[in-house]
Amino acid sequence: MRPYPQTPQSVVDPSAVIAIPDYAFDGVPKKKGPPGEIEIKSAADIEKMRAAGRVAREVLDIGGAMIAEGVTTDEIDAAVYSACLERKAYPSPLNYRNFPKSCCTSINEVICHGIPDTRPLQAGDIVNLDITVYLDGYHGDCSEMFVVGGKQALDEEGQKLIQTTYDSWLKAMECVKPGTDYNAIGRIIQDYVTPKGYSTVRSFCGHGIGTVFHMAPNIYHYTINESLSEMKEGHVFTIEPMICEGLSNPYMWEDDWTATTGDGRRSAQFEHTLVVTDDGVEAFTGKIETSPLQFWEEESSVSKGIWLGTSNEARRKAEELNKKKLKHQ
């Protein structure tokens, strides 16, 4: 991958959205989470975060549906921008620490934070589309993989990379419940991907999220040989492993955002915003009725079909959704 020209940065009219984040105009985030602790979200917080997560999912599906040969990521970014504003939401990445676009598009060897530009997508490209929205004072964050041209356009090694990344992500999310040590997430991911010949990125992590884009806790996607905090009901955070075919040490482009693999081999990633419930976990950014079912969901060795969480309510909703999705495959 090489940088391509970018179109001018957009600026959101505050009257077009319910609320704008504090960095929207100067690029400097000012609000911080509670010092030294993981915030426990209230029922009101959770209701608003569920709404933000739903909008993030809708926007991700809109952008993902555009991914095709010849389309530019700049065109996808423009659609993401419009979809956010149509829902009265601010695209969270826009001007966050001076990031110039409304979403991240990370292609092939780009690990994360790829900036949308005018390069046309090519058949066989693997694309991570990362969407975060700011709705009514709360962020919702998710990302997903897409293949330009579909499964038939992707070589077997690329299919295995995405499948392994997806299944490691599912296994890590399945462990989320009250009382689990946060170190379980990284251990599960590393123990799953390493024997298959893949590496997990250590330079970037998941994070707590709420009224602040990034807050405690840090979510490590590799083994931490010490106890961390315990998960509690009401904790909200992302799990977003970045798994590489080869070396996982990032090479940073001059734009100070784009992180690529040092050896040029491919990387894949998935992300949900999750809430710890009394009986497990729920994905605020889970798929909905109109979301596509991808081959890695159909072929997962961990959980076939769409995954929405492990709580009783999340499993019930997933079962209903999968009956409809799998019936039409």
Q: Say how far apart CA 12 and CA 30 lie, in whole Å.
A: 19
Under a CB-based contact definition with an 8 Å cutoff, are residues 267 and 273 in contact?
no
Q: Return the structure tokens found at 91.
A: 């695209």
Q: Return the structure tokens found at 201.
A: 């990125």
Give the pTM.
0.97
Under a CB-based contact definition with an 8 Å cutoff, are residues 241 and 204 in contact?
no
pLDDT score recorded for residue 72:
98
Q: Say how far apart CA 17 and CA 19 lie, in whole Å.
A: 5
Q: Say how far apart CA 81 and CA 94 lie, in whole Å.
A: 9
How many other CB atoms are there within 10 angstroms of residue 16's CB atom? 13
pLDDT tens, residue by residue, 58-112: 999 999 999 999 999 999 999 999 999 999 999 999 999 999 999 999 999 999 9
- Judged by DSSP in three states, 148 sits in coil
Cβ neighbours of residue 9 under 8 Å, at least 6 residues apart? 94, 95, 100, 101
What stretches in the chain show pLDDT beneath 70?
Answer: 326-329
pLDDT score recorded for residue 329:
55
pLDDT score recorded for residue 56:
99
Strand extents, DSSP E, the chain: 90-91, 104-107, 110-112, 126-135, 138-147, 199-200, 206-208, 215-219, 236-239, 242-244, 250-252, 259-261, 267-269, 272-277, 280-283
pLDDT score recorded for residue 328:
57
Residue 311: its H or E element: none
**DSSP assignment letter at 13:** -
pLDDT score recorded for residue 325:
76
pLDDT score recorded for residue 210:
98
Identify residue 164 by its one-letter amino acid code: T
136: left (phi over 0), alpha (psi -120 to 50) or beta: left
